[in-house]
Amino acid sequence: MKTIEIGGVKLGPDRMPVICAPITAGSIVEIMHHAEKIADSPADIVEFRADWLDDTGFLNSNTVDAALRTIRNILPGRPVLFTLRTMKEGGKADVRDDEYVEIAEAAADSGYIDAIDLEFSRECVSSGLLPSLMRSKDIRTVLSFHDFTRTPSADEIIAHMNEMASCGADVIKTAVMPQSDSDLLSVLTASEQLKRTCETPFILISMSGQGVLSRVCGGQFGSVLTFASAGRTSAPGQLDADTTDMMLRALYRASRPPQKKFKMELTGRGNIVLGGFMGTGKSSSAEKIALYADFKPVEMDQIIEEKAGMTIPEIFSELGEKAFRDMETKLCRELSEESGLVISTGGGTLLRQENVDALKKNGVVFLLEAEPETVLARLEKSSVKRPKLEGHMNRGYISWLMKQRYDAYTSAADAVIYVDDLTPGGTAVRILSAAGLIPD
Ligand code: S3P
């Protein structure tokens, strides 16, 4: 299966499924309320269910544009999937084919959407007309099929999914209703086969309480996205986004390989670099490393504050984030010329490749990783102000920001230390033993 991107979010094999939270609201004011709830959730993508506007009589090109602009303003970092779910497939829209095409075009031309859901049962979709029109506008297509009455056999699901894939879809989606536990198994069986045979990333859901397991364990069987609510649910069986995120993280934690025992020789008197999310204990572990071994602790944030004569929140608000990031880059270059340091980076330092390259010139990067709830508990006790979390000091937002950073962090890391159960002293000992500086 290939990996595709929707607005920078990757969907594909061997990753945690993406969480998509739907906005189901019939007016702009309600849309605002719903979007604000999603802002503090771990949802990677937001789905705008425009059919809810049809329910209140407000569906037209202008309201679609205004609604999407509102969503973009409230949720700047989250890609938008546009959906006009028709009554036949469990939604609220009652539109002809020409109206369906008109609304889809208005959404695409708004410039605010990244992907669009297109119902395969519509002639304008299965003919390939609308998918190719969307592709020409650089919008990803999710071809979908819903059956709210029954679950077809695994073979039927697979055959239908392959037909949708052959239409040139970026993602294919099927959601069906189970009547028995074996219907849930049919969905998982179809997933397992598609995981091995289908090139196109897919989403397969068994709806209602009876199928709820598919929303949580679907990823293990190849499904790349799961819908979860922040506020109102949009389909039977949906769990809330925070619960889904916690369950997904627990599953992926259990299935990740055990922490590797690694050994690395620090070249000469190279530097130890500690990276990772806010609240993972980079500074306090650096202090302990300095206490146990002959390394000088360097706290990047503190040096930047001293040099600028301003606090970090002041730098962010008065000079802007880019100015702060440039100061970090300059400091990384300076520190790479020194030796025998244990460098505590800021939570965003490893996100710039040039910083990583500089720090690695004469250092080994240890990534400290913790769960969002650990980070939240630690940050709530800290007096340090974090502008990146201002107004969003909650688990959902922390998990979302962590996921945004995950790929950059892991590609920068020479080694990863899971710190949920470690004190700063324990983290220091792990690092020093990994670096061959104290015996195991
Ligand atoms: C930041 C983390 C902070 C500090 C700044 C930005 C980030 O460092 O550099 O507020 O983008 O994660 P800590 O990780 O030490 O909190």
Mean pLDDT of 300-314: 98
From the CA of 304, give the closest atom in ligand 1.
Answer: 9
Task: List, in order of start, the domains of the chain with CATH numbers.
Answer: 4-255 (3.20.20.70), 271-434 (3.40.50.300)
Residue 262 has pLDDT above 70, yes or no: no
Whether the CB-CB separation of 121 and 167 falls below 8 Å is answered with no
Cβ count within 10 A of residue 332: 25
The residue assigned the tokens 């500074």 is: 283
Average pLDDT of the residues of the chain: 94
Active-site choice (34, 92, 173, 403): 173
Q: Which residues line ligand 1 (CB under 6 A)?
A: 278, 282, 301, 312, 346-348, 386-388
pLDDT score, position 32: 96
Tell me, rounded to whole angstroms, the distance of Cα 161 from its chain centroid.
25
Whether the CB-CB separation of 142 and 170 falls below 8 Å is answered with yes
Model pLDDT for residues 95-115, shown as the tens digit of each residue:
999 999 999 999 999 999 999
Cβ count within 10 A of residue 318: 10
Rounded to 5 degrees, φ, ψ at 333 are -60, -45
Model pLDDT for residues 220-242, shown as the tens digit of each residue:
999 999 999 998 777 888 999 99
Model pLDDT for residues 141-176, shown as the tens digit of each residue:
999 999 999 999 999 999 999 999 999 899 999 999
* Helical residues (DSSP H) of 227-338, grouped into ranges: 241-255, 282-292, 300-308, 312-314, 321-335
Active-site choice (37, 92, 146, 403): 146
The two three-digit tokens of residue 200, written as one number: 């196109």
Cβ count within 10 A of residue 127: 12
Cβ count within 10 A of residue 227: 27
Residue 367 has pLDDT above 80, yes or no: yes
Q: How far is the CA of 301 from the centre of ligand 1 (A)?
A: 8
Nearest CA to ligand 1 atom 1: 347
- Please tell me the distance from the alpha carbon of residue 410 to that of residue 282, in angstroms, as a whole number: 16
Q: How far is the CA of 317 from the centre of ligand 1 (A)?
A: 14
Percentage above 70 pLDDT, the chain: 97
Q: What is the dihedral of CA 27, 31, 33, 37, to 10 degrees?
A: 160
173 by Cβ neighbours in 10 Å (0-12 / 13-18 / 19+) ranks as buried
The two three-digit tokens of residue 193, written as one number: 């086969």
- Residue 146 designated active-site: yes
- Please tell me the distance from the alpha carbon of residue 101 to that of residue 97, in angstroms, as a whole number: 6
pLDDT score, position 256: 74
The two three-digit tokens of residue 146, written as one number: 């819903």
Whether the CB-CB separation of 254 and 217 falls below 8 Å is answered with no
- Residue 160 designated active-site: no
- Dihedral angle sign, alpha carbons of residues 303, 309, 314, 316: negative
In the sheet that 45-49 helps form, which strands lie side by side, from edge to edge? 202-206, 171-176, 140-147, 115-119, 80-83, 45-49, 18-23, 225-227
Cβ count within 10 A of residue 135: 15
Q: How far is the CA of 32 from the centre of ligand 1 (A)?
A: 29
Cα atoms found within 13 Å of the Cα of residue 400, Cβ hemisphere only: 27
Identify which of 42, 36, 55 has the alpha carbon closest to the alpha carbon of residue 16: 42
Nearest CA to ligand 1 atom 11: 348
Residue 261 has pLDDT above 90, yes or no: no
